[in-house]
Structure 1
């Protein structure tokens, strides 16, 4: 065919081919060039798209924030699918609010946006907004001005929406009073406990019951797929233990790094702290007057230590004459630190203002920095030298390890021989993991069950399980998931059925005892093996002498009527049955000081409930489509 095309290149066939190429570009190519890459949509809200760029921007920010927060625990704490769900839900909610704001004419003015940005501390220098710092901060964080200001405008719009809702909520005086009465309520309680454990010896479970339970819950008795892995571990710490040292090496290392084994300068100081009663002009004036009074007495020759005992408001040092002991530079608040480390021995400072108040500081002693003798720090020097040498070895061996396990991907033995490391084998474990640091590491678990390692039977690349501690792995053995036989699980089924039957017997006996109590029998007369009567007395809502569940049940029980006790029956998480008696109820009046936070708490509760209701309503009246691509897009 190609030869035929060449033969007729100057004829009508050539023109047909050229025409088809032009038509293809006209229909597809030019449009593609005009639009660029196709936009990936992860969700639609009332016909408006949320694209992958928006999703990944927020997803990456959240991921980085959580990685900083949890460090090495990130993979164990954060599930990627949950994070993706949360990010998409946040973007959908944001888009709903944006649409509501647009429909209702709610806008953020340029002045509001400028005020918010100019007031942010991160963009200020010497208390004023700096355009240069503003641009530098955005550049360091990979943002351009236009994008940042768009996002800020959206953030302010969402905040304004929330504030409109929450700002209209309030708590009335009668609501606060009612809450105060409930908060101050106390109840007089006693209880009868029916232990379920004695019934464990009396109940009987048949083979038929065990079989029926097994057949009903077959899915509960499936053993998941499992693997065991071969692995090579490379650890800087273990390499360090094998680094040979001599006295000459340690002496040379100590001489080269003497500064690391030098004790820093320390200073001993005393101070007199005069606090501000209030951060007002009157409070400041009063504090300055006291400072001046102390300075005058010092000038007159009175003892600094005696004045500290009289005037200082620092409870930790006043009784010892203001003595703060010795400390290194950087251990105190900056203003205090700067003053101490610019003073001479015996000198008393001018007043130094910090967040705690005004300080008069006396420098007692300067302890000069001092190099520690090698004999005193030899163990530390040795360890530091070994770790330094081991770090070099670690990265050389890690590179070598990765190269060999990739080039000879069907075995770990060549890599072990080349690096002098050992191939070890684990126990069988499921996707949920096994015992020990290695088999609880999510990176190792995910890699062990990945397609490359499990299905293709390849070596893995190195996996960092902690700082300068890595492994490479390959699957040694694989066991498919399987249905466990009845004989394997009958013992555990019988144990669980016995426990359930014992709990049921405890509940049944509890009901019988409650019927006797209601018929007039005294609860204390019903005690026997496994049944005990407990007199408690008055409890408040924060009572610590009862289980939280029991306290909650006590305050849910109806109030006694006409002097007749109220009773309630419930089960503890342990399976024991409780018959709880409320004999009386009283309310202790709260003081005005105790009521004050209740008003704010009540108003906040109403505000959050109303906001949540509005957001639910927005969602109910929105046409939301989530695309499956958000679960995998990168």
Structure 2
């Protein structure tokens, strides 16, 4: 039997079949191995081909799928960007640890995924961003303009000083990707509209006006009746969260601030002159060159034929530009592919480091009035004209003396502050259980603060870093002095927790008076509510508010005509209740009541309701209402689009890399 099996599987047919099976399994295994080894993405988006939306996700059909990754670098860059925005917005209240939570990371990743989905959808729908649109977007960016016009020098300086810095090509790609992401959502935003029926219905509700009579019940007299133990126990148990005592600390601390230190001695003339000689280069203006250029752009990935055509074109332009009487600015406006063409190729004054190396080398080799040979850079081919040279000049000592004196005083203050900070830390390390010895050694005052509850912005504990240290387990358990905490530049504080009280529910005996007061307040409010309900029942039974007021010895009801929705008349909570009851039928009234925050109550009768009318709005009012409605509609459409894209495309989050 085994011999027959061996004979059946040793023929050439079996060999061919086995070989055909090995190839796909081997490729599949290698692919899985490489993907697992090389996958450093935070998220992966897989999309079937547009022409086969139901394509299966298994191999070999998966080879037709489009694959996009959100890398760790992209995610980290966006996380850092959002962190900086939050720090600028919150200032000292910013807490980096609260910002960098798993929930925050996931929300930032979701935004990145949505942006990439929109970009992929736009590309798959055939929507493209032209080079001209990218250049126009850059040229219209206010940060790159001087006196309302695009300035090449400022543009390059801004890119170089960005964090992280950009090359011009890299920034153009960044802008292109942003425009690709916005092209689809922007189309939805610009096409969103509100129908007349929707607008009319909104105006009917928001513009509604009501005529109301209001009877006010005064706050009841203080409840002075005794509170039984049973009432105390019941109220205490039902409202235990109200009586919990928050976690609290008592601290002692010392502050060291450079602004409080004695002013340093004024430097002598010799010291200032020595400093000037040592830093003379800092006061010398660098050489600058006034340049214009003509660019023949070569697209990334261009064919050899296109590259040769671009080179031939720039050489023809060079010959024309060097001809006697040629107008370089006119040629730039005619031929250049750069945004500076509108200014005749003017790049402004350029110093070293402002341009790419090839351009800079050619520019600084020219003499005023000269035009370079064609220069190739990553953007394409340039023709450069040097119009003027501004030589660098050193500022004299007398001109910068005050600046040097100020800098000397600042550096001396920083030096003294640094020395005192080190001495303070060394002193606390020798005696970490008390701040008094260190304070005596440096003639500082030990201050105390407390009790302060967690989250309470009191004194220096208003600073989140100080509060985080004061409520840290280490300082609470050990009672040691903290590390220096920076409140501001050259301003530090060291603290020690002298007493800590954890969050707790005090026994009833400790809060008995407070609970009793709350019970009395609740009884009074319940009595007021019962009285308001009784008067409301009488009004619904046909008795007028005027008759009720006379019978109860209350002030006559107030009449308010044409109260608008949201108008706080007589109070916000009363107005909300007035518009919560149904609009009355003709000749009828709608009744209601409301308890007010100040302890009073109102019983009211709505006698008429006039819905808002669209035709009564002027064009400005209509536009101010229609625009936010359209924006809200666009937001809902974009959310629906992204939800649909997530359904059609497969999004996989790599939690390990997140």
TM-score (norm 1): 0.60
The reply to whether residue 164 of structure 1 matches residue 187 of structure 2 is: yes
- Residue 505 of structure 1 corresponds to 527
- Residue 382 of structure 2 corresponds to none
Select between 99-108 and 497-506 the one with higher mean Cα deviation. Answer: 99-108
- Choose the corresponding residue for 1:524, options 543, 546, 558: 546
Q: Which structure's relative contact order is higher, taking Cα pairs within 8 Å and 6+ residues apart?
A: 1
- Residue 605 of structure 2 corresponds to 581
Distance 1:153 1:554, change over 3 A: farther
- Choose the corresponding residue for 1:565, options 589, 593, 614: 589
SS in 2 for 1:438: helix
SS in 2 for 1:488: coil
> Which consecutive unaligned segments of at least 5 residues does structure 2 have?
1-29, 47-66, 270-408
Select between 512-521 and 477-486 the one with higher mean Cα deviation. Answer: 477-486
- Choose the corresponding residue for 1:432, options 455, 459, 463: 455
User: Quick check: 1:222–1:482 contact (8 Å CA) kept in 2?
Assistant: yes
CA distance in 2, matches of 1:508, 1:617: 52
User: Quick check: 1:566–1:583 contact (8 Å CA) kept in 2?
Assistant: yes
- Residue 207 of structure 1 corresponds to 229
CA distance in 2, matches of 1:628, 1:494: 53
The reply to whether residue 112 of structure 1 matches residue 137 of structure 2 is: no
Deviation at 1:120, TM superposition (A): 1.6
The reply to whether residue 461 of structure 1 matches residue 483 of structure 2 is: yes
- Choose the corresponding residue for 1:57, options 77, 83, 92: 77
- Residue 194 of structure 1 corresponds to 217
- Choose the corresponding residue for 2:622, options 591, 594, 598: 598
CA distance in 2, matches of 1:407, 1:625: 54
- Residue 548 of structure 1 corresponds to 572
Deviation at 1:443, TM superposition (A): 1.6
CA distance in 2, matches of 1:74, 1:105: 43
Deviation at 1:544, TM superposition (A): 6.0
CA distance in 2, matches of 1:399, 1:555: 66
- Residue 232 of structure 1 corresponds to 254
TM-score (norm 2): 0.58
User: Quick check: 1:176–1:599 contact (8 Å CA) kept in 2?
Assistant: no
Distance 1:607 1:404, change over 3 A: same
Distance 1:486 1:616, change over 3 A: farther
Deviation at 1:446, TM superposition (A): 0.7
CA distance in 2, matches of 1:544, 1:220: 30
SS in 2 for 1:61: helix
Q: Kindly provide the CA deviation profile for residues 462-487 of structure 1, in whole angstroms up to 9, marking residues without a partner as x.
A: 22335644311122233344332121
CA distance in 2, matches of 1:497, 1:628: 52
CA distance in 2, matches of 1:212, 1:183: 44
Instruction: Give the 5 Å matches for 1:91-130.
Output: 91-102=112-123, 104-124=125-145, 129-130=150-151
- Residue 354 of structure 1 corresponds to none
User: Quick check: 1:187–1:583 contact (8 Å CA) kept in 2?
Assistant: yes
User: Quick check: 1:232–1:472 contact (8 Å CA) kept in 2?
Assistant: yes
- Residue 419 of structure 1 corresponds to 442
The reply to whether residue 489 of structure 1 matches residue 511 of structure 2 is: yes
Deviation at 1:198, TM superposition (A): 1.0
User: Quick check: 1:108–1:157 contact (8 Å CA) kept in 2?
Assistant: yes
CA distance in 2, matches of 1:170, 1:203: 63
Deviation at 1:44, TM superposition (A): 6.5
Deviation at 1:226, TM superposition (A): 3.3
The reply to whether residue 537 of structure 1 matches residue 557 of structure 2 is: no
- Choose the corresponding residue for 2:155, options 122, 130, 134: 134
- Residue 371 of structure 2 corresponds to none
CA distance in 1, matches of 2:655, 2:513: 43
Instruction: Give the 5 Å matches for 1:112-511.
Output: 112-124=133-145, 129-141=150-162, 142-145=164-167, 147-173=170-196, 175-176=198-199, 185-195=208-218, 197-198=219-220, 200-201=222-223, 205-218=227-240, 220-236=242-258, 238-239=260-261, 393-406=416-429, 409-433=432-456, 435=458, 437-455=459-477, 457-466=479-488, 468-511=490-533
Distance 1:405 1:483, change over 3 A: same
> Which consecutive unaligned segments of at least 5 residues does structure 1 have?
1-26, 253-385
Deviation at 1:564, TM superposition (A): 1.8
Deviation at 1:76, TM superposition (A): 12
CA distance in 2, matches of 1:186, 1:550: 15
Q: Kindly provide the CA deviation profile for residues 338-364 of structure 1, in whole angstroms up to 9, marking residues without a partner as x.
A: xxxxxxxxxxxxxxxxxxxxxxxxxxx
CA distance in 2, matches of 1:574, 1:629: 55
CA distance in 2, matches of 1:94, 1:508: 57
CA distance in 1, matches of 2:147, 2:586: 72
CA distance in 2, matches of 1:629, 1:428: 42
CA distance in 1, matches of 2:97, 2:543: 54
Instruction: Tell me how many residue pairs correspond in the alignment.
Output: 458
Q: Kindly provide the CA deviation profile for residues 62-112 of structure 1, in whole angstroms up to 9, marking residues without a partner as x.
A: 333343344445459996658656544533432443354355444434443
User: Quick check: 1:234–1:398 contact (8 Å CA) kept in 2?
Assistant: yes
For the aligned residue pairs, the C-alpha RMSD in angstroms reads 4.4
